[in-house]
Amino acid sequence: MNGVITHDDVRETLVSKLSRYYGTTPKDATTFQIYNATILTVKDILTRKRPEFKDKARKQQKKRVCYLCMEFLISPSLKTTCATWGWR
């Protein structure tokens, strides 16, 4: 992936996911819909960045992380972001 993913890129992707999958806007979306759109957005970003990461790690002979659970981080951050954007 070329370049840095900006705040506006993430916001645009979230709005697009809400529209495409739920036919709603951020202000009218339920908490469940916003959460799922967030999950899909993060998955898309990580999927796009993975090949570049794998190549870089292979060249640098870095250690592998086999499992990383970040579920506990999403909820507080999601509440803050939604409040900042005026969604809920």
62 occurs within a structural domain:
yes
2 occurs within a structural domain:
no
* Full residue range of the structural domain in which residue 38 is found: 7-85
Q: Using a cut of 0.85, tell me whether the model's pTM lies above it.
A: no
Number of independent structural domains in the chain: 1
14 occurs within a structural domain:
yes
Closest CA to 49 of 84, 1, 3: 1
Burial of 3 (0-12, 13-18, 19+ CB in 10 A): exposed
67 occurs within a structural domain:
yes
* Distance between CA atoms of residues 56 and 18, nearest Å: 33
* Distance between CA atoms of residues 68 and 72, nearest Å: 11
Closest CA to 60 of 68, 70, 52: 52
72 occurs within a structural domain:
yes
Kindly report, residue by residue over 12-55, the tens digit of the pLDDT.
999 999 999 999 999 999 999 999 999 999 998 888 888 888 88
1 occurs within a structural domain:
no
43: its two tokens = 């998955």
